[in-house]
């Protein structure tokens, strides 16, 4: 079972913001679309562009390279719908954010 890693506080990730943290050997994109924190591999499933170079707006994450769009709350593709981000578990302890290296199934 993967360990939880401390990756920062909610003060580091305001609503509407995203940022990358390293969890083990993986760059993980933290995003806070509307007050809840989600974590995804910072790698677009299309051609591996870092999603952190994209835009988070109105609950959607858009890749900067070719504008694939994902639901920031689920990681599911919006355009194209067949795409899906690799998601990681997030846990809050007060305002402290922890991410597990174990992928959400
Ligand atoms: S690499 Fe993200 S849309 Fe192409």
Q: Which candidate, 17, 26, 23, places its Cα nearest to that of 91?
A: 23
Please determine, for residue 105, whether its predicted confidence score (pLDDT) is greater than 60.
no
From 29, 40, 43, 46, the mutation candidate for ligand 1 (largest count of ligand atoms within 8 A of CB) is 46
User: What's the 3-state SS for 90-103?
Assistant: EEEECCEEEEECCC
Residue with the two structure tokens 């067949």: 82
Residue with the two structure tokens 């969890």: 23
Spatial contact of 44 and 63, defined as CB atoms under 8 Å apart: yes
| Domain 4-100: CATH architecture, name and number where available | 3-layer Sandwich (2.102)
Task: Please report the pLDDT score of residue 65 as a whole number.
Answer: 98
Residues in the ligand 1 pocket, defined by CB under 6 Å? 44, 46-47, 49, 63, 65-66, 68
Structure tokens belonging to residue 45: 């499933």
Among protein residues, the one with the nearest Cα to ligand 1's atom 1 is 47
Structure tokens belonging to residue 43: 């790698």
How far apart are the CA of 45 and the centre of ligand 1, in A?
A: 7
Enumerate the domain spans of the chain. Answer: 4-100
What pTM did the predictor assign? 0.94
Please determine, for residue 1, whether its predicted confidence score (pLDDT) is greater than 70.
no
Digit-coded pLDDT (tens) for 48-89: 999 999 999 999 999 999 999 999 999 999 999 999 999 999
């Amino acid at each position: 079972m993967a360990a939880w890693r401390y990756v920062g506080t909610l003060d580091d990730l305001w609503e509407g913001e995203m940022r990358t943290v390293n969890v083990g050997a993986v760059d993980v994109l933290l995003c806070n679309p509307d007050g809840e924190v989600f974590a995804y591999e910072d790698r677009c499933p299309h051609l591996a562009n870092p999603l952190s170079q994209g835009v988070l707006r109105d609950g959607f994450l858009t890749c900067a390279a070719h504008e694939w769009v994902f639901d920031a709350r689920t990681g599911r593709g919006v355009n194209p719908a067949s795409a899906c981000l690799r998601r990681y578990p997030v846990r809050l302890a007060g305002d402290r954010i922890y991410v597990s290296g174990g992928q959400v199934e």
